[in-house]
Amino acid sequence: MTRTEDTPDIVVIGGGNAALCAAITAAEAGARVLILESAPKPYRGGNSRHTRNFRCMHHGPLGPLVDSYTEEEYLADLLKVTGGKTDEHLARLAIRTSEDCLPWMEAHGVRFQPSLSGTLSLARTNAFFLGGGKGLVNAYYRTAERLGVQVRYEAAVTHLDLDDNRIAFVDYTQNGETRRVTPKSVVVASGGFQADTDWLARAWGPAAKNFLIRGTPYNRGVVLADLLHQGIEQVGDPTQCHAVAIDGRAPKFDGGIVTRLDCVPFSIVVNKDARRFYDEGEDVWPKRYAIWGRLVAAQPDQVGYVIIDAKSLNLFMPSVFPPIKADTLEELAQKMELPADALAQTVAEFNAACGDTSAFHPTELDGVSTTGITPPKTNWARPITEPPFYGYSLRTGVTFTYLGLKVDENAQCAIGNRPVTNLWAAGETMAGSILGQGYLAGFGMTIGTVFGRIAGKEAAAHAN
Amino acid sequence: MQTDLLQEARRQAEICNACRYCEGYCSVFPALHAERAFSDGDLTQLANLCHNCRGCYYACQYTAPHEFDLNLPQALANVRQDSWEDLAFPQAAGRAFQKNGVAIAVATVIGFALLFWAARALAAQGGEGFYAVLSHNAMVAIFLPAFLFPLVSIAISLRRYWQRVGAGPFRTAHLVKALKQAGNMKNLKGGHGDGCNFEDEDRFSHTRRMAHQAVMYGFLLCFASTSVATVMHYALDMPAPYGIFSLPKLLGISGGLLMVLGCAEMIRLKLRSDRALGATQAFGGEVAFVGLLGFVGLSGLLLYALGQTGAMPLLLVLHLGAVLAFFLLTPFTKMAHGFYRLTALVVDAQR
Ligand SMILES: Cc1cc2nc3c(=O)[nH]c(=O)nc-3n(C[C@H](O)[C@H](O)[C@H](O)COP(=O)(O)OP(=O)(O)OC[C@H]3O[C@@H](n4cnc5c(N)ncnc54)[C@H](O)[C@@H]3O)c2cc1C
Ligand code: SF4
Ligand code: SF4
């Protein structure tokens, strides 16, 4: 049975950063807002719960940010990672508005870390949330509540009914019951579809079944699929997803940041046949972090194995699971279920190819490289000789997908060439409109904040 | 120390060290990030730096029902509690009182009983005011040891603590830094100055910090009052009673009021807070101890207000009994946390 409810002006679908920014903005404009969040309260906030920072343009020191970071520089950084697959108009809009966002975030309860240890290179471009994304999400929920926004948890939206060029009603399930609301405006901010591994497998092939999902299990793309089926304009490539190589022992969902591994540059990485397959020393790790997701995905069973020795153990950030440790390479191979002879041979060949290591420098491209093997290791190439030996397994960890709803500069969705009069989208669900491929650290939260606020404002203007 | 508690704290500290999102909330995180592996001593130090403000719990993306099941405030509270029991001298007293509200209540009653007995047996013939109930010499004979014993006991415990956490040589500069932090309870401001998350899930508030300040400064004022009175008595030949505008009275009354209000607020907050984020077993002991401290303040104020009435002898004995119990229990109850916290801050300043 479907129960029709007395409904507020605006329904916001999702409960992460983009949804909250939209809800707060709309409520401040005087609209009555209802948030429908599919997750239970402890898991509210989707992938935004797992984030750490926000990339922000600024003309001079701003909040925790030092120096300045101009529109042109920001855009250049974006073009580099996307290889030019960017809608420049929307990208500039996001970048330019980001400067306004930081004070707005602070005014709505978000607190930043003072620019401190370990992240100096980012102190100029990225503002770090105190307590991380969950702290941000909590602050926004408090603010939204104070503004009278209603929140329903465990309320999963199943269908938005498109009637000509407007959304007539929204169906969702709660407590096993289907309910229907008929708001004047709808904002979709329900993330990507990465948690639906069947969908991933349809796009990627069966290998995707072995992928781990770094974030929330609730972003299953239900609303996205529903809208695309009804002909709403789409953007982005279904086969594209942002994926990194994470600890193979990470949980299937929601492992978050702690499952990342920073040891690859100081290691050799082999596949399950104990063969190397790519230059581990290609560049400093933050730059190369993302490509390893794809590299591992292309290996048999979608796994990789990192091998280091004692002298490298303290050169990288600690990770959540302790490494597998052994006194000999053979023993390590056995513990990691790798063919021992092949591993010994790979390591011996690699060691023989290493040359003078006196210039070794862990934090810069040091040019300490191998000669005469394929693939080469072009930096930080030191022989693996000093016991005990350590190993980590690697798997592909999906961060988010790129296929989404196409929006214009008002965050409005379209069908054919016409706008859908009462439908807006914000955050990951429309990020493909800007980010065609690749990823720029902290840009996800920028897109969500900028377009969340735009969507909220437009939705409220329509409703009033 | 209990290895299971240490093991659990170690597991959680390692997750935090890989995450680091809470860097900035308090002194625990920078100290934690300085290590890769955590010895039992490291964990004891981290635990005693933690104020149980809960900022990190509500900000954590890994709390239950997540399988990583993070609850750092609780893990550290358990280790901290266990460390106080373990380091106490004599240890048996630590075990008996740290977690045990009933034992504290019993000890307090015994304190009263002793005083009643002393009042009858040693009552001063011919003394005036309070000394008509209990002679000054008798008070000194009872309270001097009760005051010195806790000092010795705590000194021994802190020495053990210092060794256990592997602290470096003592420097005054570190103590000064620690005193400053303790003085305004910097760590209870939550890093962003909005306070902590004690009474209402993730809402930040300064209530706990203010209650805490009231108790601490109230106690110090009362202590100062007694010290001034002692000097006046012995050095200046000005025995009690003192008028309302005398230094001992001004310090004592303001201190007493602060202490009573602070303790009442602390108990109210404790009852509202989520017990699962603290050392659950110690809850009763902590509430009982705060109650005792509040009663010390309250009985002192009442004694002042009703000192000229027939209720005086009864109130005097109640007050002195509570003070006696308080001093004797200091090394073995929540009161000890102040000493450990300060020491932990001194050790942290060495980093
Ligand atoms: C581990 C990790 C770290 C990251 N770190 C950063 C970072 O530091 N900086 C950065 O900018 N980006 C980071 N990102 C990317 C960032 O998380 C996203 O870009 C951003 O959170 C997207 O916000 P959103 O509001 O669009 O989606 P989300 O925050 O994912 O919110 C989507 C919400 O929709 C809800 N939902 C889904 N389906 C339905 C439905 N049918 N009905 C109702 N509700 C539904 C979900 O429960 C969820 O609450 C990180 C991602 C991960 C996984
Ligand atoms: S408490 Fe949670 S969010 Fe904070 S540092 Fe630890 S793991 Fe990270
Ligand atoms: S509870 Fe508060 S004081 Fe303790 S570790 Fe967490 S943030 Fe720090």
Which residue minimizes the CA distance to atom 22 of ligand 1? Answer: A428
The count of other CB atoms within 10 Å of the CB of residue A183 is 22
- For chain A, what percent of residues have pLDDT higher than 70? 97
- Give how far Cα A208 sits from Cα of A213, A223, A243, A255, A296, Å: 10, 21, 11, 17, 11
**pLDDT at res. A238:** 85
Rounded CA separation A202/A213 (Å): 16
Centroid of ligand 2 to alpha carbon of A148 (angstroms): 30
Rounded CA separation A183/A422 (Å): 9
Q: Residue A120 pLDDT > 60, yes or no?
A: no
Q: Residue B129 pLDDT > 80, yes or no?
A: no
Q: What is the largest CA-CA distance in chain A?
A: 75
In three-state secondary structure terms, B241 is coil
- For chain A, what percent of residues have pLDDT higher than 90? 86
**Which of A409-413, B190-194, B289-293 has the least mean pLDDT?**
B190-194
Single-letter code of the amino acid located at B278: G
Give the mean model confidence (pLDDT) for residues A142-146: 98
pTM for the whole structure: 0.94
**Which of A123-132, A173-182, B106-115 has the least mean pLDDT?**
B106-115
Quote the tokens at residue B7.
């093991």
Which residue minimizes the CA distance to atom 2 of ligand 3? Answer: B53
Give the gyration radius of chain B's Cα atoms.
21
pLDDT digits 0-9 by tens, A51-79:
999 999 999 999 999 999 999 999 999 99
CB A35 within 8 A of CB A152: yes
User: Cβ separation of B24 and A130 shorter than 8 Å?
Assistant: yes
Centroid of ligand 2 to alpha carbon of A318 (angstroms): 14
pLDDT digits 0-9 by tens, B98-114:
888 888 888 887 887 77
CB A339 within 8 A of CB A274: yes
- In terms of DSSP bridges, do strands A126-128 and A150-152 run parallel, antiparallel, or are they unpaired? unpaired
Interface list for chain A against chain B, based on CB atoms closer than 8 Å: 42-43, 49-50, 52, 111, 113-114, 116-118, 129-135, 138, 142, 251, 254, 256-258, 260, 314, 317-320, 322
Rounded CA separation A210/A297 (Å): 9
For residue B163, give the nearest of B74, B76, B39 by alpha carbon: B39
Which residue minimizes the CA distance to atom 35 of ligand 1? Answer: A14
pLDDT confidence bin for A153, thresholds 50/70/90? very high
Kindly state the DSSP code that residue B331 receives in the 8-state scheme. G
DSSP string, A173-197: EETTEEEEE--SEEEE----STT-H
**pLDDT at res. A34:** 98
Kindly state the DSSP code that residue A379 receives in the 8-state scheme. S
The beta-carbon contacts of B297-303 under 8 Å, at least 24 apart in sequence, are B297/B218, B297/B222, B297/B255, B297/B256, B297/B257, B297/B258, B297/B259, B297/B260, B297/B263, B298/B256, B298/B260, B300/B222, B300/B252, B300/B256, B301/B253, B301/B256, B301/B257, B301/B260
Q: Residue A200 pLDDT > 60, yes or no?
A: yes
For residue B324, give the nearest of B146, B120, B134 by alpha carbon: B146
**pLDDT at res. B128:** 74
Please list every protein residue whose CB sits less than 6 Å from any atom of ligand 3.
B 25-26, 28, 50-56, 72-73, 76, 187
CB A22 within 8 A of CB A189: yes
Rounded CA separation B290/B216 (Å): 12
pLDDT confidence bin for B291, thresholds 50/70/90? very high
Q: Residue A6 pLDDT > 70, yes or no?
A: no
Q: Residue B258 pLDDT > 80, yes or no?
A: yes
CB A48 within 8 A of CB A17: yes
CB A209 within 8 A of CB A256: no
Token pair 């690699």: residue: A350
- For chain B, what percent of residues have pLDDT higher than 90? 66
Q: Residue B125 pLDDT > 80, yes or no?
A: no
Centroid of ligand 2 to alpha carbon of B13 (angstroms): 9
Q: Which residues of A touch B57 (CB under 8 A)?
A: none
**pLDDT at res. A445:** 98
pLDDT confidence bin for B209, thresholds 50/70/90? very high
Give the containing element (helix H, strand E) for A13: strand A10-13
Q: Which residues of B touch A46 (CB under 8 A)?
A: none
Higher per-residue pLDDT: B241 or A303: A303
Single-letter code of the amino acid located at A282: E
Q: Which residues of B touch A42 (CB under 8 A)?
A: 63-66
Ligand 3 atom showing the smallest separation from residue B54 Cα: 1
- In terms of DSSP bridges, do strands A10-13 and A33-36 run parallel, antiparallel, or are they unpaired? parallel
Rounded CA separation B313/B212 (Å): 32
**pLDDT at res. A121:** 63
For residue A111, give the nearest of A98, A123, A102, A122 by alpha carbon: A102
Q: Residue B245 pLDDT > 90, yes or no?
A: no
**pLDDT at res. B158:** 97
pLDDT confidence bin for B124, thresholds 50/70/90? low
Q: Residue B49 pLDDT > 60, yes or no?
A: yes
What's chain B's average pLDDT?
A: 91
**pLDDT at res. A22:** 98
CB B94 within 8 A of CB B84: yes
Angle of helix B283-305 versus helix B101-122 axis, rounded to 10? 30
Rounded CA separation A38/A51 (Å): 19
Contacts of A43 (CB under 8 A, 6+ apart): A49, A216, A218, A254, B65
CB B219 within 8 A of CB B293: yes
From the CA of A86, how many Å to the nearest CA of chain B? 30
Which residue minimizes the CA distance to atom 21 of ligand 1? Answer: A48
What's chain A's average pLDDT?
A: 94
Residue of B16, B21, B23, B42 to mutate, interface with A, max A Cβ within 10 Å = B21
**pLDDT at res. B316:** 86
- The CB of B59 under 6 Å from ligand 2? The reply is yes
State the distance between the two ends of chain A, measured CA to CA, in whole angstroms.
31
Q: Residue A285 pLDDT > 90, yes or no?
A: no
Give the mean model confidence (pLDDT) for residues A84-92: 92
H helix runs in A83-206, sequence order: 88-107, 132-146, 197-204
Which residue minimizes the CA distance to atom 7 of ligand 2? Answer: B16
Give the containing element (helix H, strand E) for B349: helix B336-349
In three-state secondary structure terms, A100 is helix
pLDDT confidence bin for A35, thresholds 50/70/90? very high
Q: Residue B126 pLDDT > 80, yes or no?
A: no
- Give how far Cα A410 sits from Cα of A73, A97, A167, A450, A458, Å: 24, 13, 17, 10, 7
Contacts of A89 (CB under 8 A, 6+ apart): A409
Of B58, B62, B64, the CB nearest to A138: B58
CB A31 within 8 A of CB A458: no
Please list every protein residue whose CB sits less than 6 Å from any atom of ligand 1.
A 13-19, 36-39, 45-48, 50-54, 156-157, 189-191, 214-216, 218-219, 222-223, 256-257, 399, 427-429, 442-445, 448
User: Cβ separation of B191 and A50 shorter than 8 Å?
Assistant: no
Q: Which residues of A touch B19 (CB under 8 A)?
A: 132, 256-258, 320
DSSP string, A307-351: EEEGGGGGGS---SSPPEEESSHHHHHHHTT--HHHHHHHHHHHH
